[in-house]
Amino acid sequence: MKKIVKAVLVAACLMGAGAAQAQLGGLGGGLGGMLGGKKAAGGDLGAEVGTFVSQSAALSLMASSSVTAINAAFASDEQRKSKAAELDAINKLTNTDEQKARMAKLYESESAETKRLFDSGEMKQRMATWTLKRKSWSAMHC
């Protein structure tokens, strides 16, 4: 149970990481990062922006994966199959804008479901009834 709660907290922290990175220097001193590392005068601002964008995308993917894994632990087999099919469909898209939009929509719905489960106490209630086998599976997948 503690691993699930920790995973929920990690996912919540990851959601705010992109904004914190920008505020605390992810874009360097040249674009107003509070703690800015390099100054724009001597550095390649384009490279800094590119690095920031790629790091933000990686954080977003990590947060999305965490939330999806948490929800998978509470989903039925049918719901897991449905989510897997949706992820497969998204991964097969060739239009990156459409892929990002659908991934964002999925992440939003997964986040809302995780929040609902946690806030309602349903998450804790369900975990109390899990068998040892189920707890082991969840710990390995979250």
- State pLDDT tens for residues 107-137: 888 889 989 999 999 988 888 887 776 766 6
Q: Determine the pLDDT at residue 31.
A: 47
Contact status, residue 28 vs residue 39, Cβ threshold 8 Å: yes
Q: What is the pLDDT of residue 2?
A: 64
Q: Which amino acid is at 94?
A: T
- Between 17 and 79, the more confident residue is 79
DSSP states of the chain as a string? Answer: -HHHHHHHHHHHHHHHHHHHHHHTTTTTGGGT-TT-SS-TTTS-HHHHHHHHHHHHHHHHHHHHHHHHHHHHHHS-HHHHHHHHHHHHHHHH---HHHHHHHHHHHHHHHHHHHHHHHHHTHHHHHHHH--HHHHHHHHHH-
Tokens of 1: 């149970």
Q: What is the pTM of this model?
A: 0.56
Asked if residues 38 and 28 have their Cβ atoms less than 8 Å apart, the reply is yes
Instruction: Please tell me the distance from the alpha carbon of residue 118 to that of residue 120, in angstroms, as a whole number.
Output: 6
Confidence of residue 34 (pLDDT cuts 50, 70, 90): very low
Radius of gyration of the chain (CA): 18
- pLDDT at site 120: 94
Tokens describing residue 73? 């632990």
